Amino acid sequence: MKRSLLRSVPVGLGLIFGMAACASGPGTTAASANANAGDGRLHARGEAVFRLQNAVLDELIGASELDATLTEAAAQGLAAAEARIVDSCRDINEAASVRASGGEPGLLLKLRVLDSLASCERAALAARAYLDANPSNLSASTP
């Protein structure tokens, strides 16, 4: 499911983050041009956060499922990191799922996505830092 969602990211997030003021016709102002530029930056950030959290979740799942010698403490740490990402990134994943199914996320979901981007990114970066800082703790057989 993650892989199919990842392919729909550019289109899905483009529509999710297309909430800034749109320039219309010959009456385009500098303010609307700036809003459109900001919308492009927001789209790029949203796509980057979505991809980051998916990549880190893949790493966490790989570390927990592929290592039969995982210590209990490491397994708990990986599970906690995964749970934080799933919780923090729930809205962005829900919106991407709606778009992947051919739907249009509602305004409230779009606003929740915007509101949760920073916490989703923080959770993913914290999990990646945990993985990077604890490679020797993840496996009981690693010295």
50, pLDDT greater than 50: yes
Long-range contacts of 86-90 (CB under 8 A, 24+ apart): 86/57, 87/123, 88/116, 88/119, 88/120, 88/122, 88/123, 88/124, 89/49, 89/50, 89/53, 89/116, 89/120, 89/123, 89/124, 90/116
**pTM, rounded to two decimals:** 0.68
Q: Is the dihedral of CA 105, 112, 91, 24 positive or negative?
A: positive
Q: 3-state DSSP call for residue 136?
A: coil
- Among 10-14, 57-61, 96-100, 112-116, the minimum mean pLDDT is found in 10-14
Alpha-carbon distance values, 116 to 67, 75, 85, 133, 139 (Å): 32, 26, 11, 26, 33
99-124 residue pLDDT tens: 899 998 899 998 999 999 999 999 99
Domain ranges within the chain, ordered by starting residue: 2-133
